[in-house]
Amino acid sequence: MVNIPVITRRELSSYFLSPMAYVVLTGFALSHGILFSLGIGSRIEPNMQAYYAFYITLFLLILAAPVLTMRLVSEETNQGTIETLMTTPVTELEVVIGKFMGALVFAAVMFLPIVVQVVYLRFLGPVDVGPVLAGFLGLFLLTGQLLAIGLLCSALTRVQIASAIISFAILIGLYFMWYLGQGSPGMGAAVLRYLSPPWHYVNFAKGVVDTRDVAYFVITTGLFLFLTVRALQLRKWR
Amino acid sequence: MLVEAENLTRYYGSFLAVDGISFSIGRGEVVGLLGPNGAGKTTTIRMLTGFLPASDGTARIAGCDVRENAIEVRRHIGYMPENNPLYPEMRTREYLAFRANLKGVPRRRRRSRIEECIRLCSIEEVAGQIIGTLSKGYRQRVGLADAMLAEPDVLILDEPTIGLDPNQIREVRRLIGNLSERHTVLISTHILAEAEAVCRRVLIIDDGRIVADDTPAALSERLLHGAVTVELKGDPQQIRAELCRLDGVRSVHLADSTGWHTASVTPETGADVREAIFRAAARNGWRLRELTRSRASLEDVFHRITLGRPEAEPAVAAQEN
């Protein structure tokens, strides 16, 4: 596991050397900022506005996560650097975790505008710290899960744009399950709701930390990372 | 033995790319893996590095099984793949530092080792440059510097001079020549001059099988059976008759050119008939102006072996006295 920080550092430096990263950072900051300021007029109560800040991030991540992860493995496969990487004394697990951590740290930088917004809200009135921390925990868990899905898609194809489209389609599907599951009675709808990330994330945004929601994110993220490791291992047999 | 391959086999679907090849390479050897494009060189190398698993057979590097002990095997090899993939957005020194980290070069030695490799590969002037802006020759040298960073026992270089101009090729070959002082080197190439220039032993691979394994000189010898070319002035009938009578001579082909006659003498296997020809010339009073033992270039050997042409056909591409 000693190689994980080495790979994470390289991924981070690679992010900050690519113009796409700045497009994503700027795009996220602008769109989040615009949506946030539109909400301020209708939600005077700062705690509601903080909830809103986390809520809109849910939807922006559908676009941001596939773009952030699309190059992680597919670029290595396409450029052939996967061969130089996988013939050094590193394991597939180290590569996957290292890349995942790199994307997660970059996403944390992307979320800095939310911190600024929360600080700004404190000037408008009292903001409960607990729900805000819960929101950030949820954001961290949700982002991890969506990045893990994107990473898996990136390991399945050597074409970056294909990776982004596949992971975008999966995320749309997962979000759509939330929409379908809402308001419908019955077991099927409950299963759909339970499997969709937004349903769990919204609880965090509201300030509710439920271990079932934490477990959901941890298990699904672990599952997608495991599948990515397997995809990298099986690549040899293609 | 540092590198051992036993019955290595690899299928891609139903296509047999490497067909049960076996060979071994001892410490300090510089071995060329030759073959036409698509012969199975890269697949063989990828199986040796553990990048591709073998469908059957085993490979060991420094006694470690490639499949069962992949991480340990990777500590013993420095590998430069075909086309030398690098991260174009990184700077040369930053890239080498990343690779040294991954390869587990001890922290206290890392900096000095990176600088040593930069110096050995003569890339000092581009050490701070972005890799994507480097010429192909420099990039190739960055790849070589990377391969030797962790001072591996075995260097495996897949087509190390492909796409380079003649000056760059000469430079990279010189570098490989220097590397052989410290490492066991396996070079895959389809450029025969390269193998002839730097390798002391060549494995010729064709259709996934090893079809020859010897030194370039021995392969050449095997091909031409030590044929001798002699240029004489005298009576052609007598020359032919006398040469045919010599011990160890299998056949004589005589060609006339402006009074001087060029005889191609094919001896029996293993015989060296040069001295006997000289004595015959002296005895008969022929004027002699050339007596050389023909040596096939590796190109001839390769061509005949991989295209299945008969070995006995004399051809003179390079000559040795």
Chain A positions touching B47 (Cβ under 8 A) are none
pLDDT of residue A43: 62
Number of Cβ atoms within 10 Å of the Cβ of A162: 15
**B302/B317 Cα distance (integer angstroms):** 13
Q: Give me the pLDDT at residue B261, please.
A: 87
Q: CA angle, corner B39, sides to B33 and B43, nearest 5?
A: 75
Beta-carbon contacts of A187 under 8 Å, excluding residues fewer than 6 positions away, are: none
Tens digit of each residue's pLDDT (9 = 90 or more) over B233-249: 888 888 888 888 888 88
Q: Per DSSP, which regions of B183-240 are E strands? A: 184-189, 201-206, 209-214, 228-233
Residues forming beta bridges with residue A5, ordered by sequence position: none
CA–CA separation, A178 vs A160, rounded Å? 27
Residues of B in contact with A2 (CB under 8 A): 104
Closest Cα in chain A, distance from residue B231 (Å):
55
Question: How far A144 CA sits from the closest chain B CA (Å)?
Answer: 25
Which of A64, A85, A62, A61 minimizes the C-alpha distance to A73? Answer: A85
Calculate ∠ Cα B208-B43-A84, nearest 5°: 165
Contact A79 B103 (CB under 8 A): no
**Of the partner residues A6, A13, A14, the one whose CB lies closest to the CB of residue B101:** A6
- Cross-strand pairs, B287: B233
**Are B81 and A80 an interchain contact pair (Cβ–Cβ within 8 Å)?**
yes
Query: Which residues of A lie closer than 8 Å to B, measured between beta carbons?
Result: 2-3, 6-7, 9-10, 13-14, 17-18, 79-81, 83-91, 236-237
Across the interface, of B74, B83, B90, the residue whose CB is closest to A80 is B83
Q: Which domains does chain B have, with CATH numbers?
A: 3-214 (3.40.50.300), 221-320 (3.30.70.100)
Considering A182-186, B208-212, B216-220, the range whose residues carry the highest mean pLDDT is: B208-212
A237 CB neighbours in chain B (<8 A) are: 53
Contacts of A156 (CB under 8 A, 6+ apart): A163, A166, A231
Torsion of CA A42, A45, A46, A49, to 10 degrees: -40
Say how far apart CA B284 and CA B278 lie, in whole Å. 10
Least confident piece of the model among A115-124, A162-171, B301-310: B301-310
Q: Which of B52, B94, B102 sits opposite A88 (nearest CB)?
A: B102
Domain edges within chain A: 4-233
> Which pair of tokens denotes residue B247?
């011990």
Q: What is the mean pLDDT of residues B60-71?
A: 89
Q: Which value, in Å, is the radius of gyration of the alpha carbons in chain A?
A: 18
Using DSSP, state whether B295 is helix, strand or coil: strand
The letter for the amino acid at B104 is G
Question: What pLDDT does residue B311 have?
Answer: 44
Burial class (CB in 10 A: 0-12, 13-18, 19+), A195: middle
pLDDT in tens, A14-59: 999 888 889 999 999 999 888 888 877 666 677 777 778 888 888 8
Contact state of B51 with A3 under an 8 Å Cβ cutoff:
no
Unique residue bearing structure tokens 């009938």: B237
Compare CB distances from B86 to A81, A236, A237 and report the shortest one's residue.
Answer: A81
Which site among B87, B99, B151 would you substitute to test the A interface, given the most A Cβ atoms closer than 10 Å to its Cβ?
A: B87
Best to test chain B binding among A71, A84, A85, A93 (most B CBs inside 10 Å): A84
Residue A17's closest chain B neighbor by CA?
A: B89
Say yes or no for a CB contact (<8 Å) between B90 and A13.
yes
Cβ proximity of B79 and B147 under 8 Å: yes
Q: What's the gap in Å between the CA of B177 and the closest CA on chain A?
A: 23
Pairing of strands B15-25, B249-257: unpaired
Model pLDDT for residues B150-187, shown as the tens digit of each residue: 889 899 998 888 777 787 788 778 888 777 778 899 99
Rounded Cα distance between B206 and A182, Å, is: 64
